[in-house]
Amino acid sequence: MLDVLTQKVHDEARQGEAFAPFINDPAQYQKKFYIESYGCQMNFSDSEIVASILQDAGFGATRDCAEADLILLNTCSIREKAEQTVRKRLTEFRKIKVANPGLLVGVLGCMAERIKSKLLEEEQLVDIVVGPDAYRSLPGLIEEAEGGQKAVNVLLSREETYADISPVRLNSNGVSGFVSIMRGCNNMCTFCVVPFTRGRERSRNAFSIVKECRDLFDRGYKEVTLLGQNVDSYYFTPEATDNNARRDTVTFASLLEMVAKISPLLRVRFSTSHPKDITDDVLYVIAKYKNICKYIHLPVQSGSTRILQMMNRTYTREWYMAKINRIREIIPGCGISSDIIAGFCTETEEDHQATLSLMEYSGYDLSYMFFYSERPGTLAQRRYKDDIPETVKKRRLQEIVNLQNRLSRESNEKDLGKTFEVLIEGNSKKSDQDWMGRTSQNKVIVFSKNGAYCNKGDYVNVKVTDCTKATLLGEIV
């Protein structure tokens, strides 16, 4: 039950979405691929790069895995459960492979990187294994696999950013698009497998980022989310070869500004920020531009300085609190969300209480909450014993979830009677008589279509009349 709860509050609720790109007529392609993505937004964004590479190699997308020549799973390793889900899915594909022996099955992403060629032995039906920096080699690997060989490329790169590849927008609502600005992570949080699966941090060419955002806007998109494991350490120095007047180094603050200037009608979001790296410059730029959304995802992980140290987060409880104060001071009304881990190695009841009190202090609008899952090869796995019993981890997680539910409700209740500018994303899930959109603070708001003529992608002012802990309800004013 708890796992369901955790998933609901995390992006992994999107796990296993099958993507069928709305691109050129699939009939024009001789072969078809089917792709499923798991895990973080970065993985979903990577799948759009993979789709672009495959399209250029003559593969069209299909929504139906039974008619595919190639099935790909873009996988996540962040918690053990994510890997279990993928393994289960692979066994389900076994049936299709029996019916269609020519079918190729490929594993992409973090799990491919973590388990490498061992995956081919463990999962007999896997033909292709490709790590996050090797997607350009997919067409060659597919050819190898078609010739009956198992094909693997899990080389990590210090340079690859796929800057020149135009992602094929998969299952997009046509309003919001994700744009990858950097890859990898240098932080080495002790619990985290990402630095091992996604490699060293590198920033993408700023001009190619701005170009991609502008292209999206020209195609009718109204919102871009700039993605990176740690966006605040974005750093790009233009070279003489960059056909642009600008020569000074681009930081995350200046990148945000460059993207915000594309048009006041293009909303800019970003994820994820690290408390140690988010600067006042970034906060001032967010405050300065109306179209940069007033929302920061600022994972705390734990409220105990001792645990934060063991996690190698490089900030203390007090430092984090000061950051929250600074955000509230520079960007009044800013939405703030967090990631929290319950039951990290040696965590005491006192440490746990410190997490609860820091959540209360921060007044998060939303949190993604997990219990600690030891990952092979991480610093924590090598250094510490995973010594908190599962029952204790789950009980603590439940307390964290309960508190977050109250905080989310309180945050929504504070919005009652206020009017927000909302970007309409589409019909509400429950009724096509209602629109669903988001406020700048990233809150979902549902309101009746009655009484006003507007469309998906429009900005409207909506007054909040009611709320649940997860959603605001309102009416157009």
Rg (C-alpha) for the chain, rounded Å, is 22
- In this structure, what token pair is assigned to residue 395? 């009980």
Whether 324 contacts 362, CB under 8 Å? yes
Closer CB to ligand SF4, 211 or 276, in the complex? 276
**77 to each of 109, 184, 447, how far by Cα in Å?**
9, 14, 38
Count how many Cα atoms sit within 13 Å of the Cα of residue 288 in the half-sphere of its side chain: 13
Among ligand SF4, ligand 5AD, none, what does residue 78 contact (CB within 5–8 Å per kind)? ligand 5AD
Whether 434 contacts 472, CB under 8 Å? no
Among ligand 5AD, ligand SF4, none, what does residue 274 contact (CB within 5–8 Å per kind)? ligand SF4
Q: Report if residue 379 touches ligand SF4, rule: CB under 6 A.
A: no
52, 85, 180, 187: which one binds ligand SF4 (CB under 6 A)? 187
**180 to each of 42, 109, 276, how far by Cα in Å?**
7, 15, 21
Q: Interface mask (CB under 6 A) for ligand SF4, residues 258-277, using x and -?
A: ----------------x---
- Give the residue closest to ligand 5AD by C-beta: 339
Tell me how far, at minimum, the Cβ of 195 lies from ligand SF4, in Å.
5
Residue type, 158: R
Closer CB to ligand 5AD, 313 or 438, in the complex? 313
Coil, helix or strand at residue 415: coil
Q: Residues binding ligand SF4: what is the number (CB under 6 A)?
A: 10
Coil, helix or strand at residue 180: strand
Residues 341 and 360: their CA atoms lie apart, in Å, by 16
Among ligand 5AD, ligand SF4, none, what does residue 229 contact (CB within 5–8 Å per kind)? ligand SF4
**Site residues, ligand 5AD (CB under 6 A):** 78-79, 191-192, 299, 301, 339, 341, 370, 372-373, 375
Among ligand SF4, ligand 5AD, none, what does residue 373 contact (CB within 5–8 Å per kind)? ligand 5AD
Closer CB to ligand 5AD, 316 or 373, in the complex? 373
> For residues 201-260, which are near ligand SF4 according to CB under 6 A?
229-230
- In this structure, what token pair is assigned to residue 217? 């806007």
Residues 377 and 400: their CA atoms lie apart, in Å, by 28
Cβ-based neighbours of 314, under 8 Å, separated by 6 or more? 187, 276
- In this structure, what token pair is assigned to residue 400? 């964290």
Q: Report if residue 300 touches ligand SF4, rule: CB under 6 A.
A: no
Closer CB to ligand 5AD, 41 or 137, in the complex? 41
What residue ranges bind ligand SF4 (CB under 6 A)?
185, 187-189, 192, 194-195, 229-230, 274
